[in-house]
Amino acid sequence: MTSLDLYTWAGVAVFLLALHAVVTRAHLIWKVLAINLMGTGVFLVLLAAPARRDPLMADPLPQGMVLTGIVVAVAATALALGMALRVVARTGSPFLTVETETADPDPDAPEAPS
């Protein structure tokens, strides 16, 4: 394994650890942070990508992708945090309530008022 492979696999490892956190951590802030970390893992992979093929030449494409990816991640995080605040305001809890599939808990819940 070369050191460049190491970069790629380290990125994948960060991604997988963060994925594990999204699934296992119930608190919404944890989930949002973990999703950010997944993105960071992908960025590591992207930065290592061009050097694997030609270590001497700069490749602008992955850099452009990481920059765009950061912009997208900022927008997504802002929306996710805003929505997490709404969840707390409307349900009083920072966790997602679990809904079972077969039971249809409350059919009388009102439609969106209009």
Residues 46-75 as x/- pattern, contact with other proteins by CB under 8 A: x-xxx-xx------xxx--x--xx--x--x
The rounded distance, in Å, linking the Cα atoms of 22 and 32 is: 8
Contact call for residue 10 and other proteins (CB under 8 A): no
The rounded distance, in Å, linking the Cα atoms of 48 and 9 is: 10
Judged by the rule CB under 8 A, the positions of this chain that interact with other proteins are 8, 11-12, 15, 19, 22, 28, 31, 35, 38-39, 41-42, 45-46, 48-50, 52-53, 60-62, 65, 68-69, 72, 75-76, 79-80, 83-84, 86-87, 90-91, 96-97, 99, 101-102, 104, 106-114
